[in-house]
Chain A
Amino acid sequence: MLRFILRRLLQTIPVLFVVATVTFFMLRVAPGGPFDEEKRIPEEIVRKLEAHYGLDKPLWQQYLIQMKNLLRGDFGPSFKYPKRTVNELIADAFPVSLELGCYALLVALTLGIVAGVIASLRPNTASDYVPMALAMIGICFPTFVTGPLLSNYFGLQLGWFNPGGWFFPEDRVLPALTLGFYYAAYISRLTRGGMLEVLNQDYIRTARAKGASESRVVVRHALKGGLLPVVSFMGPAAAGLLTGSFVVETIFNIPGLGRFFVMSAFNRDYTMVLGTVLFYATLIVLLNLVVDVILVWLNPKLKFE
């Protein structure tokens, strides 16, 4: 297993290199630059700013400098926030997104798995249709609809929570539910599909024949195999959840990473875009590795080779 993990980690390096290179050049091809503003800046000041950030050098030199800095783990100064580095900004915002992502993941997994299992136990009955219909609604309602609805109802009408902000513990509830519901819908459908397949297997019939109780059959025997599709889905989904959602962070005014991810592209904040993209890419690669390890553990048919 260790060799497998090490090999995968080594494979990560060229992947991240390609991501960094493509992002670097795509950004420079995009029209407009970081210093374009409605009130035009005098040409000589633009030149000073470009010199300050090293943008006056030939593109290949900029690329080499950037890559050298990346190797040292230094993303450089942010163009938008001149007094802060990209590393500092990510270090400040990531814990917020991580916390929100963990709560959302908890909501998504709890609701999704429970609803999926309920639906799979009596397929094509009311106990299947109801949770699956709810899941379909969940998939159809994007977060920019659910968010304001929850914020309006629980925040303004009932007054249970603040409709936005990230100051008190309870401020986590509405954004976590908004983000969690969306993923719960997918997870429940995947769980149902996985469980239905597993519940028809011979070893489940054997377990039942041996007199195992229904709950033991479901929890001990079926769930492990039934969750395989969910685990595969969770790799990229968890990376997305943990690095923050632009929509949910904007609706609830949360100082997370998701807003940087989108706004830095609009601002042509070159270093910030590269920083967030690489951070996101690293997380996806690492979480996919974790998922692969879990899959092998869950599925005896798979091996690390």
Chain B
Amino acid sequence: MSLLRCRTVQCRLCVLLAVVLCAFPFLTGCGKRHTRVETGIRDQILHAGNGTDPQDLDPHITTGEPEHKILMALFEGLVTEAPDDLRPLPGVAERWDISEDGLVYTFHLRTNALWSNGDPVTAQDFVNSYHRMLLPELGARYREMLYPIRNAEAFSTGRITDFNEVGAKALDPHTLEITLHSPVPYFLSLIMHNSWFPVHLPTILKHGDIAERANRWSLPGNFVGNGPFVLKEWKVNSHVLVEKSPTYWDRDNVKLNAIYFYSTENVDAEERAFRAGMLHLTKDVPQTKIQVYQQNQPHLIRCEPILSVYFYRLNVTSPPLRDKRVRRALALVIDRELLVKHVTRGGQVPAYQLTPPGIPGYEPRARFSEDVALAQRLMAEAGYPNGNNFPGVNILFNTHEGHRAVAEAIQQMWMKHLNIRVTLRNEEWKVYLNTTQSMDYEVARAGWGGDYIDPGTFLDLFITDGGNNETGWSHAEYDRLIQEAARTGDMKKRFELFQKAEDILMDEMPIIPLYFYTRPTLIHPAVRNFYPTLLDLHPWKYVYLEPPSS
């Protein structure tokens, strides 16, 4: 009580300040309760960090990985992924036949597959969806994924206007026939991508035009899907909530009742949320925390390789890099072991070729190894003995601490071993994209992730004038090999063609592979059936939560 008997103004103000400070937390309530992770395990509600905020939930519009992960819960394609190795399993199609020449796929759709509004999922729904995806007016960015279908490209680019000429036909409500223009051995893997998901056309037409990008059918309340979960909430910059679908054909085997996908753009905030018991899964782990977790709580962290490569593009039209010997010398002096061990520190794998390891049946043989003496000899042959007369080279990267650290390390290696002047330039993301696309650089940082498990998703990049080549490099034999591989149905022959192409690429070196990405994830021990996969995809229908003690 003596405090309340303050005589002086200072004293009273001090008391007031103290009361406000102490009362503030309690006024708003701060009792200890069960964490989201605990209640989630009890109620089978998964809380997952999902990276950047999803732009849309229309499978024909979206392009990003965070969207794809949510769409995997909301839709089901003809085939789905096995949770452990992503091999194709029956989805809406319960079985399929492939013609001997590998050109005609006949999918037999299950009769109990339903949309979330109760309508049956039919073969015509798939045909309608491919039609929409390929409509030039929609401007779908991933429409190229459908180009293996006969005449799909011609329709999409306006060369033909009759969709009946495109190789997708509904033979009856439950039989879908897809005819390809040439054999695609990885076709079943390709059609797991969200660009192949069916959409419910009547719902789209109810909310606007078929090709209208702003059609609001994919917002909560309007949304109709055919996946194991349905859309309940979507708050921009916060979360997407999906709940178990009562109409999904395999609902008895879906154990989760709901999934919250949180937008977690700040990786430090995401890690704090995991530690506080707010997330079962994170999308990423701060670089500085990876080793701490690996040493102290290895059961909570996973750092698995994914189908993604970090490399430097070389502008082969700029004078010193026009010479292949210079390009090779730059690649040969980089100590990639040191780079991943002391700079990136996320368990990344040193890259001595472009195609990441793990693609079944394809082990690239075009591997080079670090060789400083050879590099110095190549530089001397190119007219730059001990770096003399070399005009210098600039490394461009988009503004990011991690990219800067890598660039600085490589700058040191090139200066030390080749005695050349190396400068660094960072640019904001969109400016950097503009600079690389207009070829206004010498060396530029780049990354590439595979959309499907096949070497072609990487090697196709560097064909002459390819949209993502951006090096100015052109090689007739390389182009021929890639084009021949695209027409070859025999997996063995096809991979041999890719091997030869990669041999050429690593000999010519228009790019310098540095390392293969890993995907560090924090995962609560209660999460089951969540396996590391090459594309970092996890079919949610198999995932469930089980208290770790049991």
A and B found bound together:
yes
Q: Which residues of B contact A39 (CB under 8 A)?
A: 63, 468
Q: Take A148-B268, A251-B266 as given contacts and tell me if A121 and B9 are in contact as well, using a CB distance cutoff of 8 Å.
A: yes
Q: Which residues of B contact A161 (CB under 8 A)?
A: 25, 30
Q: Which residues of A contact B157 (CB under 8 A)?
A: 44
Whether the pair A45, B10 counts as a contact (CB closer than 8 A) is: no
Contact of B14 with A by CB under 8 A: yes
4 closest A-B pairs by beta carbon, nearest first, are: A32-B430, A48-B139, A255-B237, A255-B238
- Interface with A: B271-279, B332-340, B487-495, B533-541, which one? B271-279
Q: Which residue of B lies closest to A256 (CB)?
A: B237
Contact of A160 with B by CB under 8 A: yes
- Interface with A: B114-122, B164-172, B412-420, B431-439, which one? B431-439
Q: Take A48-B139, A92-B236 as given contacts and tell me if A215 and B12 are in contact as well, using a CB distance cutoff of 8 Å.
A: yes
Q: Which residues of B contact A255 (CB under 8 A)?
A: 235-238, 263
Q: How far is the CB of A90 from chain B (nearest CB, A)?
A: 11
Select A36's contact among B141, B272, B276, B434, beta carbons within 8 Å: B434
Q: Take A84-B236, A107-B24 as given contacts and tell me if A165 and B278 are in contact as well, using a CB distance cutoff of 8 Å.
A: yes
Whether the pair B10, A259 counts as a contact (CB closer than 8 A) is: no
Report, as a range, how many residues of chain B touch the other chain: 35 or more
CA distance A49 to B28 in the complex (A): 47
Q: Which residue of A lies closest to B266 (CB)?
A: A250
CA distance A288 to B531 in the complex (A): 56
Q: Which residues of B contact A31 (CB under 8 A)?
A: 430-431, 434-435
Q: Which residues of A contact B273 (CB under 8 A)?
A: 162-165, 253
Q: How far is the CB of A116 from chain B (nearest CB, A)?
A: 10
Q: How far is the CB of B45 from chain A (nearest CB, A)?
A: 13
Whether the pair A156, B276 counts as a contact (CB closer than 8 A) is: yes
Q: Which residue of A lies closest to B399 (CB)?
A: A266
CA distance A162 to B238 in the complex (A): 15
- Mark out the residues of chain A between 108 and 162 whose CB falls within 8 Å of any chain B CB in the assembled complex: 110-111, 114-115, 117-118, 121-122, 127, 148, 151-152, 155-156, 159-162
Q: Which residues of A contact B448 (CB under 8 A)?
A: 38
Whether the pair A52, B213 counts as a contact (CB closer than 8 A) is: yes
Q: How far is the CB of A211 from chain B (nearest CB, A)?
A: 16
Q: Take A81-B56, A172-B28, A255-B237 as given contacts and tell me if A163 and B276 are in contact as well, using a CB distance cutoff of 8 Å.
A: yes
What are 9 residue pairs bridging A and B, where the CB atoms are less than 8 Å apart in the complex? A40-B437, A52-B139, A121-B9, A122-B10, A155-B272, A156-B272, A161-B25, A250-B265, A253-B273
Q: Which residues of A contact B278 (CB under 8 A)?
A: 162-165
Whether the pair B213, A82 counts as a contact (CB closer than 8 A) is: yes
Q: Which residue of A lies closest to B216 (CB)?
A: A83
Mask for B428-463, Cβ within 8 A of A = 1, else 0? Answer: 111111110100000000111000000000000000
Q: Which residues of B contact A192 (CB under 8 A)?
A: none
Q: Which residue of B lies closest to A80 (CB)?
A: B55
Most buried by B among A81, A165, A267: A165
Q: Which residues of B contact A81 (CB under 8 A)?
A: 55-56, 236
Whether the pair B272, A160 counts as a contact (CB closer than 8 A) is: no
Q: Which residues of B contact A252 (CB under 8 A)?
A: 269
Whether the pair A266, B56 counts as a contact (CB closer than 8 A) is: no
Contact of B300 with A by CB under 8 A: no
Contact of A93 with B by CB under 8 A: yes
Select B56's contact among A33, A82, A114, A166, beta carbons within 8 Å: A82
Q: Which residues of A contact B430 (CB under 8 A)?
A: 30-33, 36, 266-268
Q: Given A118-B10, A250-B269, A252-B269, list of 15 further CB < 8 A pairs?
A: A31-B431, A32-B429, A37-B141, A41-B141, A83-B214, A92-B235, A148-B268, A160-B25, A163-B272, A163-B278, A164-B272, A170-B28, A173-B24, A173-B30, A266-B428
Q: How far is the CB of B396 from chain A (nearest CB, A)?
A: 13
Whether the pair B55, A82 counts as a contact (CB closer than 8 A) is: yes
CA distance A215 to B435 in the complex (A): 65
Mask for A9-44, Cβ within 8 A of B = 1, else 0? Answer: 000000000000000000000111100111111101
Contact of B98 with A by CB under 8 A: no
Contact of A169 with B by CB under 8 A: yes
Q: Take A82-B55, A215-B12 as given contacts and tell me if A155 and B24 are in contact as well, using a CB distance cutoff of 8 Å.
A: no
Whether the pair A40, B236 counts as a contact (CB closer than 8 A) is: no
Contact of B221 with A by CB under 8 A: no
Whether the pair A173, B17 counts as a contact (CB closer than 8 A) is: no
Residues of A bordering B, CB below 8 Å: 30-33, 36-42, 44-45, 48-49, 52, 77, 80-84, 89, 92-93, 107, 110-111, 114-115, 117-118, 121-122, 127, 148, 151-152, 155-156, 159-166, 169-170, 172-173, 177, 214-215, 218, 250-253, 255-256, 259-260, 266-268
Whether the pair B433, A93 counts as a contact (CB closer than 8 A) is: no
Contact of B44 with A by CB under 8 A: no
Residues of B bordering A, CB below 8 Å: 8-10, 12-14, 16-17, 20-21, 24-25, 28-30, 32, 55-56, 58, 61, 63, 136-141, 143-144, 157, 213-216, 218-219, 235-238, 262-266, 268-270, 272-273, 275-276, 278, 428-435, 437, 446-448, 467-468, 470
Q: How far is the CB of B8 from chain A (nearest CB, A)?
A: 7
Most buried by B among A37, A83, A148, A250: A83
Q: Which residues of A contact B21 (CB under 8 A)?
A: 111
Q: Take A42-B467, A172-B28 as given contacts and tell me if A89 and B272 are in contact as well, using a CB distance cutoff of 8 Å.
A: no
CA distance A33 to B429 in the complex (A): 11
CA distance A33 to B430 in the complex (A): 7
Select A253's contact among B28, B216, B266, beta carbons within 8 Å: B266
Q: How far is the CB of A66 from chain B (nearest CB, A)?
A: 17
Q: How far is the CB of A44 from chain B (nearest CB, A)?
A: 7
Q: How far is the CB of B145 from chain A (nearest CB, A)?
A: 12
Q: Which residues of A contact B63 (CB under 8 A)?
A: 37, 39
Q: Take A151-B272, A159-B32 as given contacts and tell me if A36 and B214 are in contact as well, using a CB distance cutoff of 8 Å.
A: no
Whether the pair A155, B276 counts as a contact (CB closer than 8 A) is: yes
Whether the pair B237, A160 counts as a contact (CB closer than 8 A) is: no
Most buried by A among B24, B235, B468: B24
Most buried by A among B61, B272, B467, B470: B272
CA distance A177 to B27 in the complex (A): 14
